[in-house]
Amino acid sequence: MNHELIRFAPFFAIASGDVKEVANWVTLLAEYFHEVPLVQFLHHWENVVFSLTAAILLIVVSAFAVRKSTLIPHPLQNAVELAVESLDQLVAGVIGPKGRAHTPFIGTLFFFILIQNYMGLVPGLKAPTSNLNTTAALAICVFFYVQAIGIKENGILGYFDHLMGNPRDVVGWILVPLFFPLHVMGELIKPLSLALRLFGNILGEDALIGAVVALGIASVSFIHSPIGLPLQFPFMLLSMLLGAIQALVFSLLSTIYIALMLPHENHAHEAHN
């Protein structure tokens, strides 16, 4: 059986640390043309290549949706508008009336992550979000965006006041040495948790699919079948669900981080409203 697995190795497994994922076109090229410099370059920047593929797909779909946009929408425009409006309402629901300004960032984040997650289900492609570098990059973007919004909305003094826990009395000022490092750590842990959650979930899904694909191939290898049993199909459906959930969780948490960084009066006022 080990011999058969090795024979079909290029079709189902690559090394991603110690975790095996389904092969993609870059790993296949690397498998057969590993001496070619371009292939080596692509293999080195594999996740960036697939991230850019997702970005280009997003840009192309957006361009088609916006190109001939009319008040009475065509089907693609209708679908895109539905998604855009849902996200806009989600962001505005969490942040309030000021949320509209953050919809482009959160919306792009959501669709970008969603497409990247789903790319793992397409044969020949891989989900770049199964790599920590990709999710870390996104989380770092969110971190800087949130801090920038905090400074912009609160002012530099208000920003540090927020990090110190908004001390207004003696007890508050006494607790500043405790709260300040806690808040700073909290701000740093937020992107870390975002990155690790998304990376872990997507890598787990892809690894599961990779393992089940290997099982499907191995299960019919004794008859030298060129294709394996599609045992991964139910897990692909599960991945579709989890991919959407993970994209939503990442975007929603980013929205909440933005909302938490806005001046507290706004929240109280909006909550009151």
Partner 1 sequence: MGISIPEILTQAFAFILLVLVLKKFAWRPLLKLLDERREKIKSSFETIESTKRDVDALKVEYEKRREHIEEEARKRLEQALEEGRRIAREVEESARLSARAALEKAKQDIQLETEKAKVTLRNEVAELVLFAAERLIEKKMDAAKDKELALHFIKDFEQIK
Q: Tell me how far, at minimum, the Cβ of 22 lies from partner 1, in Å.
A: 18
The phi, psi pair for 123, rounded to 5°, reads: -60, 135
CB-nearer residue toward partner 1: 108 or 221:
108
- Report d(CA 78, CA 132) in Å as an integer: 34
Stretch that binds partner 1, among 21-29, 41-49, 222-230, 248-256 (CB under 8 A): 41-49
| Number of residues binding to partner 1, judged by CB under 8 A | 39
Would you list the DSSP string of 212-247? Answer: HHHHHHHHTGGGT-SS---TTHHHHHHHHHHHHHHH
- Report d(CA 157, CA 150) in Å as an integer: 10
Stretch that binds partner 1, among 6-14, 97-105, 226-234, 260-268 (CB under 8 A): 97-105
DSSP 3-state of 86: helix
Exactly one of 137, 207, 220, 244 binds partner 1 (CB under 8 A); that residue is 137
Amino acid at 87: L
Should residue 88 be labelled a site residue for partner 1 when binding is judged by CB under 8 A? yes
Q: Taking Cα atoms as reference points, which of 209, 48, 61 lies closest to residue 134?
A: 48
Q: Tell me how far, at minimum, the Cβ of 108 lies from partner 1, in Å.
A: 5
Should residue 68 be labelled a site residue for partner 1 when binding is judged by CB under 8 A? no
Should residue 244 be labelled a site residue for partner 1 when binding is judged by CB under 8 A? no
Should residue 78 be labelled a site residue for partner 1 when binding is judged by CB under 8 A? no
Q: Taking Cα atoms as reference points, which of 60, 61, 104 lies closest to residue 80?
A: 61
Contact residues: partner 1, CB under 8 A: 16-17, 45, 47-48, 51-52, 55, 58-59, 62-63, 65-66, 69, 71, 80-81, 84-85, 88, 100, 103-105, 107-109, 112, 128, 131-134, 136-138, 140-141
